Structure 1
Amino acid sequence: MASHRIAVLPGDGIGPEVVSEAVKVLELLKKLDPSLDLEFETFDWSSEYYLQHGKMMPDNALETLKKYDAILFGAIGDKRVPDDVTVWELIMPIRKQFRQYINLRPVKMLKGVPSRFEGEDIDFVIVRENAEGEYSNSGGRLYPGLEEEVAVQNTIITRIGTAKAAKFAFEYAQKHGKKSVTSATKSNAIIHSMKLWDDVVRTVAEQYPSIKLDSYYIDALAAYFVERPDDFEVVVASNLFGDILSDLGSAVVGGLGFSPSANLNPEGDFPSMFEPVHGSAPDIAGKGIANPIAQIWSAALMLEHLGRADLAAVMIEAIEQVLVEGEVRTPDLGGSATTSEMGSAISEALQQKLLVKEGF
């Protein structure tokens, strides 16, 4: 029985509240399935840590995290600390130093979720290049505060980085029986970096003749997400485009409370990190009413990454059962349940499903 060490980073705002529910579900799985061995260790690196120590995490934080098999992350963001500090001193070092060059974001219409698209078969993933692109720390500002002030932000698109993202997208499509990959571009206007993106994606696509490649300009693709979201299977996009599309996809299927993500190092040389797409939501932090589904779903993605796709699938089934029954709903779903009550309801549904399976 393989033991997996999980580093838990609850972070800011509602992060600790929803992470607690995800860990509660995972602890239940450990009890129900003796073959699942997870060890958790929690680290308090957050904006509060920054206010006390002047940095978001200790100097040896990455060396510490490197020893773990995966990272379960909550949310980051606090009005007392600039956003660029929280992002670039915590999330970005982990993503970049651990070569988490793929950000995988499922967009799936769960049963029982209120949405204008309710009942439609929306089920696709966005493969977002996660290490370079528009979120590269390349550029600067000249003459700050003067009338002549200039800001330059460079987009870094490399052949190898684009090829890795495209290859992952096509491999994912092939593994999951998908028939198409859609590439987000804007090469009619961004004529250098996006043309390289297009060239590389087409070259990779030639290695997968059974999978169709579609390519759309990002503005048109955003409209298609709203007009015909059930047409998509796998979408591959640069860092910024993937970020925007995944939030739009989340809105289509009910909101950010249903949006998990995985920051993946596919080779397994470093730990991958799993987090909900939503932020720290300071307006409801501490009220105990945050929807924990995205965090619990992110934990399911973690289990799948660790080789337990069977348990991950049952977790999604349990989430859907609670949503369909409709008895326990957080305020964002029109109910009055607390974060803990929603987590407990999912745990109970999970237990029911596992107990009826052979071997549990």
Structure 2
Amino acid sequence: MAPRTFHIAAIPADGVGHEVVDAGRTVLDALASDSGGEFALEWTEFDWGSDYYSRTGRMMPEDGLEQLQDFDALYFGAVGWPSVPDHTSLWGLRLAICQGFDQWANVRPVQFHPGVLSPLRKADQTDLDWVVVRENSEGEYSGLGGRNLSGRGPGNEVAVQSSLFTEKGCERIMRFAFDLARKRDHPKVTSVTKSNAQQHGMVLWDEVFERVAADYPDVDSDRCLVDAMAARFVLHPEDLSVVVASNLHADILSDLGSALAGSLGLASSANLNPERRTPSMFEPVHGSAPDIAGHGIANPIGAIGSAALMLSHLGLPAPAARVERALGAATAAGALPPDLGGTATTKQITATVLDHL
């Protein structure tokens, strides 16, 4: 029987995105070749990003979403370069894809890898493993607002940035989080809010959470203010299983989680359209790192972990688990990049992962 072929769009974009996407593709291609005919991958690479912007004035073509629509998944590198303002590069490519494809669930596991030194002392004696589920379509990153009154002269311009919270947006991400929690050893969902100070959108968030939680009596639930949750990540991370939060809060907290695990270079993520009306996108969250781009020392672990998330989304849980085990074996064997205190290059880490597949 012919293998099932998945069509994947690769968008390395900027900086170290090229190096880590290449690493992830190398691992995935090796896995497909060794799958005994279970699956095959067909790649199409797009040269969109800051270099494309310098040539065209756009981060991607006007019909970029149409070009991507029929792919099974998108594999993304990193966006951002000193020659392009950050808000231009982010909104012109990554957020344009996430919002254009309604990839409303962003999943960011916080994983503590063997052999990786965590700055968190508790990690030495406790098994820690939690997931941050981020509302990825509205909230603080809705893009609503504007800048006005510049005609009044220097120092008089006004900027308004509005957050958007809808019952639909809150409810669907919360149900996603509860459904995910049911699959974990510790079925618990913690909602992060700031409703004591943000009395409109965040109070709506709280109300929806209480209503949704009532439909999941088999899942523990609690609520926590975002500032207290930042402390809880450090002081009581063993209490966490699934953390659900708004776009901004989950963005910040997930980076904190990855730093506690050892480095942002470890952080994988999935931008999902759970209804599968559009392709989902998988990416590391470490950024384009212009200072080390091209030096061959970028940490590929987050990108390879994102490749495992992509395999799971494509209905290939066993190959995804192989990748996760190989990553753990590679870090346990000492294949660590400079951001984790090691000396291994991107290619050396990739080769060690391949050895352990």
Q: TM-score range by the shorter chain?
A: over 0.9
Superposed, 1:109-128 pairs within 5 Å as: 109-117=112-120, 118-119=123-124, 120-128=126-134
Q: Secondary structure at the match of 1:154?
A: strand
Alignment partners' CA distance in 2, 1:329 and 1:111: 11
Displacement of 1:282 in angstroms is 0.5
Q: TM-score scaled to structure 2, two decimals?
A: 0.96
Identity of aligned residues (%): 50
Q: Does 1:191 align with 2:199?
A: yes
Alignment partners' CA distance in 2, 1:146 and 1:160: 41
Q: Which amino acid aligns with 1:237?
A: A
Superposed, 1:68-147 pairs within 5 Å as: 68-117=71-120, 118-119=123-124, 120-144=126-150, 145-147=153-155
Q: Which amino acid aligns with 2:136?
A: N
Match of 1:301 among 309, 315, 318: 309
Deviations along 1:89-116, one digit per CA (max 9) or x if unpaired, are 1111110111100000000111111113
State the 4+ residue runs in structure 1 displaced beyond 6 angstroms.
Answer: none
Partner of 2:22: 20
Superposed, 1:230-309 pairs within 5 Å as: 230-309=238-317
Contact 1:29 1:36 in 2 (8 A): no
Alignment partners' CA distance in 1, 2:257 and 2:131: 9
Superposed, 1:142-181 pairs within 5 Å as: 142-144=148-150, 145-181=153-189
Match of 2:351 among 327, 332, 344: 344
Q: Secondary structure at the match of 1:136?
A: strand
Displacement of 1:176 in angstroms is 2.8
Match of 1:215 among 206, 223, 227: 223
Q: TM-score scaled to structure 1, two decimals?
A: 0.95
Q: Secondary structure at the match of 2:42?
A: strand
Q: Which amino acid aligns with 1:138?
A: L
Q: Which amino acid aligns with 1:347?
A: L
Displacement of 1:65 in angstroms is 0.3
Q: Secondary structure at the match of 2:142?
A: coil
Q: Secondary structure at the match of 1:135?
A: strand
Superposed, 1:304-323 pairs within 5 Å as: 304-323=312-331
Deviations along 1:302-322, one digit per CA (max 9) or x if unpaired, are 000001111111111111111
Alignment partners' CA distance in 2, 1:109 and 1:60: 40
Alignment partners' CA distance in 2, 1:230 and 1:290: 30
Contact 2:263 2:340 in 1 (8 A): no
Partner of 1:357: none
Deviations along 1:95-154, one digit per CA (max 9) or x if unpaired, are 011110000000011111111334331101011000000001111122225333221110
Deviations along 1:278-327, one digit per CA (max 9) or x if unpaired, are 0000010010001100000000000000011111111111111111111x
Displacement of 1:177 in angstroms is 4.1
Contact 2:33 2:40 in 1 (8 A): no
Q: What root-mean-square deviation, in Å, do the aligned CA atoms of Structure 1 and Structure 2 show?
A: 1.0
Displacement of 1:23 in angstroms is 0.2
Contact 2:108 2:132 in 1 (8 A): yes
Structure 1 residues not aligned, in runs of 5+? 351-360
How many residues are matched?
349
Q: Secondary structure at the match of 1:114?
A: coil
Alignment partners' CA distance in 1, 2:119 and 2:146: 43
Name which of structure 1's ranges 11-20 and 112-121 shifts more when overlaid on structure 2.
112-121
Q: Does 1:330 align with 2:333?
A: no
Deviations along 1:251-295, one digit per CA (max 9) or x if unpaired, are 111110110000000011100000001000001001000110000
Contact 1:182 1:234 in 2 (8 A): yes
Alignment partners' CA distance in 2, 1:32 and 1:81: 41
Structure 2 residues not aligned, in runs of 5+? none
Partner of 1:354: none
Q: Does 1:62 align with 2:92?
A: no
Q: Does 1:44 align with 2:36?
A: no
Contact 1:181 1:234 in 2 (8 A): yes
Alignment partners' CA distance in 2, 1:253 and 1:275: 18
Alignment partners' CA distance in 1, 2:284 and 2:223: 27
